[in-house]
Amino acid sequence: MDSFDEQTIKDLEFSTIREWLVEFSIGETAKNRLKNLTPSNRFIEIKEELDRLNEFLAIRSEGENFPTLDFEELLPEIKLLPIQNAVLSQDGFSRLTRASHIVNSIIYFFDKREKEYPLLSNLIQNAYYTTEIIDAIEKVFDRKGSVKDDASPFLFEIRQQIKVVKNQINKNFDRELRKLSKENVLGDTREAFVNERRVLTIMSTHKRKVAGTVVGSSKTGSLTFIEPLSNVPLNNEYELLADDERKEIYRILQVLTREIAHLLPLINEYQNILTEFDFINSKTKLALELNCCLPSIDNDEMRIELINVVHPILWKNNKISGKKTLSQYLYMDKFSRMLVISGPNAGGKSITLKTIGLLQLMLQSGLLVPVDPNSKMCFFQQVLTDIGDNQSIENELSTYSYRLKRMNHFLKVSNRRTLLLLDEFGTGSDPDLGGALAEVFFENLYNKKSFGVITTHYANIKLKADQLKNAINGCMLFDTETLEPLYKFSLGQPGSSFTFEVAQINGIPIELIEDAKTRLDERKVSMDRLLSELQKEKTYLERLNNEHIEAQELAQKAKNEYLEKKERFEEKLKNQQETIEINNKFITSGKKLKQFVDRFQTKNRKKDANKPLIDEITKYISLEKSKIEETTRTEKLKADANIKKPINKLKKEQIERDEFQHSKIKIGSTVKLISTKQNGTVEEINGEILTIIFGFMRMKVEKEKLMWVN
C-alpha cells in the first residue's frame, strides 16, 4: 500500500497543514503539489526529502543570503518555443530574463557549497550559469521592458519618422487651440483624446465654425470633438507608421524567439528548479513559523520519543488567542508499543493521541515537525485512526457499526509497521459487552505487533495494558484540589476518569453524585478511588521533588554568592592591611626625617655645624637600605625553596590516591560525599563540577569533595 488511509488524513486534520503550505507558495505548480500533498511509505525518498528540507532550513535559519524566489512560471514559453515561427510575448521575455537571473544567482550561491548542502546542490546539477538568454533579450528590450529604438535599423527609422509626425501634429494642434481660444468656441476641457487622437472640445453651437473632422460628441451633446483639418492627413500617416512599427517589432521578437529556442532544455530546467525551490521554500516557511526541526530517524529501531512536543494546529490557534500551549513528553518503543491513555474527559487525551498522529503524517509527507531536536521518530507503512463520530446517514450506519467495520479493517491490514490511533476505544455499545469486545480487539492488535495509542475509560483495557509485556499505561493528570484538568501527560500508570469530580465541576448536586456512587460495584468505586489517590500522591511527590530541587539550587546559588563575597572581602582586607603597613612605614620614616629637619642648623655659620647630623642621616639611610635588601633576599630564598622543596612522600601518595579515585568517577557511579558520608549517584559531569542525586535531592558538588564507591 503506497497511499495512506484517507479517513486518517481527515481525522487528523492534515488538510489544515496543506492550507498553510499553499499560502506560503508562489507559483501554481507548487500550490497544486502542496494541495495534494500526502504521506508516503516510500521511506528512502521521504528521508531524502526531509534531509534536503533540513538543509534549506539551515540556510534560512543561519541568515544566508539566498536569492529571493520572486518569479513567474515559464509554462507558456515552454509550450510556444518548440513551435516553428512562434513568437513569445514581451511579458514572456521578461519572465525568461527574471528566471535566468534567479537561477544564475542560485547556481552562484551553491558554488563551493556542494559539500555543505549536497542534496540542494543536486537540484541544479542539470543547469549551468550563462547570460546567453539575458544578453539576447537585453539587446532588444530596455530596463522597462519596452523594445529599444535600435533593436533594428528599420525600427529606428520608423520611430524617427513617428517623432517628426507627432511633433508636427502637436504644433498644428497647439496653433489651432490658441486661435480658437480667442474665438471663445472651446468647451471647459478645451481638448480630449478620442481613439488615441488629440481632438478639440468645441461647444456644439459653434461646431460649424471649426474646420476639421467630427469624431464624436459628449453624452449630453453639448460638446463636439473635432480633429483639426491640418492634422487629418498627419494622423493617418501616424497610424500607418504605428502599424509599420508593430510589424517590425513582431519580426524582431520572432527572430529573438528563434535565437533562444535552442536553449529550451535549459529553460525547462529553470522551470523545474524554480518550482522545486518554491515547493521546498513553502515547507521551510511553515517549519520556521511552527518552530519545527528534523528529529533523529532510525528506521531499524521502531521508536517514538517526542520531547517538548505540541499539536501544531492547537499551538497556532492558542498563539492567535494569546493562550499558552503546554508541551508534552511521549515515548514508545518495541517494549512499550501499545500506549493506553486514560484520565478525565476534556483532559487532553484526544489531543495527545492526535499530536502523535499528525506529526507522523507531517514527517511522512516530507515536513519537519514541532519537537525538540533531540527527539526520535521512525516511519510507518500505514497510520490508521478511529476518531470521533463517523456515523453515516447515507449508508444507514450508526457510530458503533461504523467503528466495528473500521476495526474489522484494522484487524485485516495491521502489522508491525502499523500505527493505530483509537480514540474512546470500545465505546458506542453496552459498557460491559463493549468493554469485553474491546479487550479482545486490543489483544489481537497487540499480537500483530502493531504500535498503537488508545484512549479509554474502560478499566479492563487499563488492566490488560498493565498485564501485557509490551504495552504501557499513561494518563492525563488532574488536580484533585482545584478539580481541574492539568493537560499534562504522565507515562507509566493508568488514570482515573474522575467521573464524579468532573460532574461536581459542572454543577451536579453532591447528593446526586453520592447516590450514584451507591449504585456502583464497591470494587469499581474503590479501584477508581485508588487510581485517584495514586495520581494525587504522585503529583504531590513530583511537586515536592521539584520544590526540593529548586530549593537546593537556590541554596547552592546562595552558597556560591557567599563564597564569592567572602573571597572579595578577604582580598580587600588583605589589601587594606598591606596599605596600613606601608603607610605606617611611611609615617615612621616621615617622623624620623622631620626630626632631622628640626635639628638642621641654618643660623650657625660654622662650616661643620651640621656634619654630625649629616653623618647620622647617612647612617640611617644606609641602615634602611640594608633592611630592604635583606627582606628582598629572604623572600627570594623562600620562593626558591618552595620550588625546589620535594613533596612529602606521604602527601605525594595521598595525592596519587585521590587522582586515581577521581579518575574512576563516571556518569552512573556511586560516590560518597566526604563531609557527610552520604552516598549518591553521578547524573552529570561538567569539568570539576558533578551533579549528584542523593535520594530525592539533586546537588552540584566539586569533584575533590567526593570519594568513589563503585
Q: What is the pLDDT of residues 670-692, one digit of tens each?
A: 888 777 667 788 888 887 888 88
- Whether 121 and 142 map to the same domain: the answer is yes
| pLDDT score of 372 more than 90 | yes
For residue 142, tell me if it sits in a domain: yes
- Whether 112 and 184 map to the same domain: the answer is no
Q: Phi and psi (nearest 5°) for 87?
A: -130, 125
For residue 350, tell me if it sits in a domain: yes
Q: How many Å apart are CA 339 and CA 495, to the nearest integer? A: 13
Instruction: Say which range, 112-126, 243-257, 498-512, 547-561, has the weakest mean pLDDT.
Output: 498-512
- Whether 303 and 216 map to the same domain: the answer is no
- Whether 315 and 360 map to the same domain: the answer is yes
CA atoms within 13 A on the CB side of 593: 8
Question: Which of 248, 270, 305 lies at the terminal end of a domain, its last residue?
Answer: 248
- For 386-401, the pLDDT digits (tens) are 886 554 434 445 667 7
- For 154-179, the pLDDT digits (tens) are 999 999 999 999 999 999 888 888 88
- Whether 359 and 459 map to the same domain: the answer is yes
Residue 401: the pLDDT is 77
For residue 626, tell me if it sits in a domain: no
- Whether 462 and 319 map to the same domain: the answer is yes
Q: Could you list the residue range(s) of the whole structural domain that residue 15 is in?
A: 6-148+256-289
pTM above 0.75, yes or no: no
- Whether 379 and 483 map to the same domain: the answer is yes
- For 638-663, the pLDDT digits (tens) are 777 666 555 455 555 566 666 666 67
**How many domains, the chain?**
4
- Whether 69 and 175 map to the same domain: the answer is no
| pLDDT score of 190 more than 70 | yes
Question: Which of 519, 548, 563 lies at the terminal end of a domain, its last residue?
Answer: 519
Q: How many Å apart are CA 312 and CA 323, to the nearest integer? A: 14
- Whether 81 and 215 map to the same domain: the answer is no
DSSP state of 207: G
- Whether 409 and 276 map to the same domain: the answer is no
Residue 161: which of 242, 251, 247 has the closest Cα?
242
Residue 206: the pLDDT is 82
- Strand 678-686 versus strand 689-694 pairing type: antiparallel
For residue 656, give the CATH number of its domain: 2.30.30.30
Average pLDDT across the chain, whole number = 84
For residue 141, give the CATH number of its domain: 1.10.1420
Residue 495: the pLDDT is 54
Residue 393: the pLDDT is 39
For residue 623, tell me if it sits in a domain: no
Residue 315: the pLDDT is 93
| pLDDT score of 421 more than 90 | yes
Strand partners, 639: none
| pLDDT score of 515 more than 90 | no
Q: How many Å apart are CA 50 and CA 295, to the nearest integer? A: 10
Q: How many Å apart are CA 92 and CA 628, to the nearest integer? A: 95
Mean pLDDT of 540-567: 77
Instruction: Say which range, 55-69, 228-242, 299-313, 493-507, has the weakest mean pLDDT.
Output: 493-507
Q: Which amino acid is at 117?
A: Y
Question: Which of 519, 549, 566 lies at the terminal end of a domain, its last residue?
Answer: 519
Residue 314: the pLDDT is 92
- Whether 233 and 351 map to the same domain: the answer is no
At 500, the pLDDT band (50, 70, 90 cuts) reads: low
Q: How many Å apart are CA 270 and CA 266, to the nearest integer? A: 6
For residue 199, tell me if it sits in a domain: yes
Q: Phi and psi (nearest 5°) for 154?
A: -65, -40
For residue 636, tell me if it sits in a domain: no
For residue 576, tell me if it sits in a domain: no
Q: Angle at Cα 556 formed by Cα 552 and Cα 560, nearest 5°?
A: 170
For residue 311, tell me if it sits in a domain: yes
- Whether 446 and 313 map to the same domain: the answer is yes
Percent of the chain with pLDDT strictly greater than 70 = 83
For residue 356, give the CATH number of its domain: 3.40.50.300
Q: How many Å apart are CA 131 and CA 148, to the nearest integer? A: 19
